A = this chain, B = another copy of it.
Amino acid sequence: MLTNQDRLKQCFQKTQYKIGGNGARNVGVLQEALSKVDSLTESDMYGSGSLIEDFEAKFARLLGKEAAVFFPSGTMAQQIALRIWSDRANNRNVAYHPLAHLEIHEQDGLKKLHQMKTFLLGEEDRLLNLADIKALPEPVAAILIELPQREIGGKLPSFAELKEISAYCREKHIALHLDGARLFEVLPYYQKSAAEVAELFDSVYLSFYKGIGGIAGAILAGTADFCTEAEIWKRRYGGDLISLYPYILSADYYFEKRMPKMAQYFTKSRELAKRWNGTEKVTTQPEIPVSNMFHVYFEGASEAVSDILADLMDECDLGITGYLLEKDAGSCSFELSIGDATLEVDPKRMERFF
C-alpha cells in the first residue's frame, strides 16, 4: 500500500519542472563539468599538483585567508578544525547551536573520534547570540557558527551582531569557526564579500554542493600553519585521496557558473516566500528570507497536506517537495532552496500552482 508520503515522493520525481534546487543530481552533472576539460590534465596526487593547489589558492584568496585545504566533505573538515583549535587551547570544550550539523547529522563523530565535550548555545528554534556565549558554564576552545542557520530555515544574525561576537571571542581567546556551507548564499543579504565575512572568523568551511550545485567537497581555510595541521588530520581521516579531481573540477565549474547568480537566487527567494505567505494556511521561516533558502510550513497534518500537494504537482507538472516533516501542533514543513531549476520554471506555471 502506497502511503501518502510515498505518493508525494513519486509525484515529485515524476514532474518535469522543480521549484527548488539546481536540477537533478545525476551523472550528467559531472559529465557537463568535465566536458571542456583537456583529457591530458594531470590528476592531483595525494593533495599535491597544480589542479588541487591552484584551486586551494583561489579560495584562500577569495576568503582573505593565508591558505585553504580541499576536503572530500564538510563533516571531515569541520571536526578537524575544532580538533585543531581544541589542541591549541588544550581544552576539549567546544560550543555551537543545538541544531549544528555536527550535533545532529554526524553520528557524534566529534565526540567519538576526539572525545570532545560540546556545549549547545541558545535554543533549537532561534539563532544563538552573544548572551548565550557569555552564559557558557565553562571555558571553550572554539565556537562554531553556521551562516545561515539551515535547520531553522536559514536565519542570520545581523552583521553588526556577528562583529560583536567575533570581538568578544578574540578578547576571550576563543577560536571562532564559520560553518559556511551556504556562505556564498548569504553574501547578497549582507552586501559583503566572502572575505569580509571570513575576516570575523579564525577558520572557515565552504561547501560546493549546496547553492553551487557541485558533486561534493569542501574548503577549509585559515592561517598557513592551521592548514598544514589540517592536512595532517586529513591524511589521518583517510580524506587525503590519491585523486580528488572529480570533486575539484566540478566544484570549480559550478562555482564559476552559479556564484554570479547568488543575487538572483536571493531575489527570487524573497519573491517566492512572499507568494507562499500570501497563500492561506501557509507561512515561511524566516518570513522574509536572508538567503536563497527558507522553510515552508503548512497548517494541517502531513497526511492531508501530502494529498493536496501531490494533486497540485500532478496537475501543474511542477515539483514542490518530495517529503513533508511532521511538526508540532498539526503542522508540517519542507525546505526550499532557490537555484537554477527555480529560475527555469515558467512564471505562469508557478502562478497556476499558487
Binding site for B on A (CB under 8 A): 24-31, 34, 37-43, 45, 71-77, 79, 106-109, 112-114, 209, 215-216, 232-233, 235-247, 249
Contacts and interface: CB of A to CB of B under 8 A. Distances in A.
A240 B26 CA distance: 18
A42 B24 contact: yes
A77 B37 contact: no
Contact of A34 (B34, B113, B242): B34
A295 B24 CA distance: 47
B236 A112 contact: yes
A238 to B, nearest CB: 3
Most central of A26, A112, A238 by chain B CB within 10 Å? A238
A15 B91 CA distance: 53
Most central of A40, A107, A232, A236 by chain B CB within 10 Å? A236
Given A27-B38, A45-B25, A215 B246 contact: yes
A28 B42 contact: no
Nearest to A37: B27
A73 B239 CA distance: 7
A109 B246 CA distance: 25
A216 B241 contact: yes
Contact of A72 (B26, B74, B106, B239): B239
Copy number of this protein in the oligomer? Answer: 2
A346 to B, nearest CB: 22
Contacts of A216: 241-244
Contacts of A24: 40, 42
A161 to B, nearest CB: 30
A236 B73 contact: no
Nearest to A28: B39
Contacts of A109: 235-238
A243 B207 CA distance: 13
A27 B249 contact: yes
A26 B232 CA distance: 25
13 contacts: A25-B45, A25-B243, A26-B39, A26-B41, A27-B249, A28-B40, A29-B43, A31-B39, A72-B241, A215-B243, A215-B245, A216-B241, A238-B239
Contacts of A249: 27
A77 B241 CA distance: 13
A-B interface, 6 closest residue pairs, ranked by CB to CB distance from nearest: A76-B238, A28-B39, A75-B238, A109-B236, A246-B246, A73-B238
A193 to B, nearest CB: 27
Given A31-B39, A107-B236, A238-B239, 7 more contacts: A24-B42, A31-B37, A73-B240, A76-B237, A106-B236, A237-B237, A246-B247
A321 to B, nearest CB: 16
